[in-house]
Amino acid sequence: MQDNQEELTKDELLECLLLISSEDLLEALQDPTISYRLSDDEILELVIELEAEDILQAVQIPIIVQRLNTEDIATLITQAQYEQKEEMRQVQQSLQSKAQDQDACIILFSIIIIILFLLIL
């Protein structure tokens, strides 16, 4: 049986890479057969698409670091750290909101118990 696989064009490759998960994209960027087909700007564009934690991993991978300039790496690290802090802030706000809701439920339940107790007397 003959192998009829065609190699993707550069544009098709970029399009496919933008559709996959951040984790898979990080793995793909480490593959020399993929990364060497891309320009430095395209690699930067793809790294920007990664989730914050994956960006922080990407800027430690030699094949990616070689293709990006120091300023871009610094910007990526700063942006990823900001995104992580923002996510933590949102989680903290969500937890505080849930704690306030729980406190309100406890107070309401206590009031209901007191009213029932007074009705029984």
Q: Over the stretch 2-59, which tens digit does the pLDDT of each residue have?
A: 444 567 888 888 888 989 999 999 999 999 888 889 999 999 999 999 999 999 999 9
Q: Is residue 38 within 8 Å of residue 14, measured between CB atoms?
A: yes
91 C-beta neighbours (distance < 10 Å), count: 10
Is the residue at 20 inside a domain? yes
Q: Does the structure show a pLDDT above 70 at 72? A: yes
Q: Is residue 46 within 8 Å of residue 38, measured between CB atoms?
A: yes
The confidence score (pLDDT) of residue 6 equals 67
The domain total for the chain is: 1
Looking at residue 3, its amino acid is D
Is the residue at 104 inside a domain? no
Residue-number span of the structural domain to which 40 is assigned: 10-91
Q: Over the stretch 75-92, which tens digit does the pLDDT of each residue have?
A: 999 999 999 999 999 999
The confidence score (pLDDT) of residue 1 equals 40
Residue with tokens 């049986």: 1
The confidence score (pLDDT) of residue 8 equals 80
Residue 9 DSSP code: P
Is the residue at 68 inside a domain? yes
Is the residue at 4 inside a domain? no
| Alpha-carbon span 37 to 6, nearest angstrom | 15
61 Cβ contact list (under 8 Å, min separation 6): 29, 30
The confidence score (pLDDT) of residue 120 equals 87
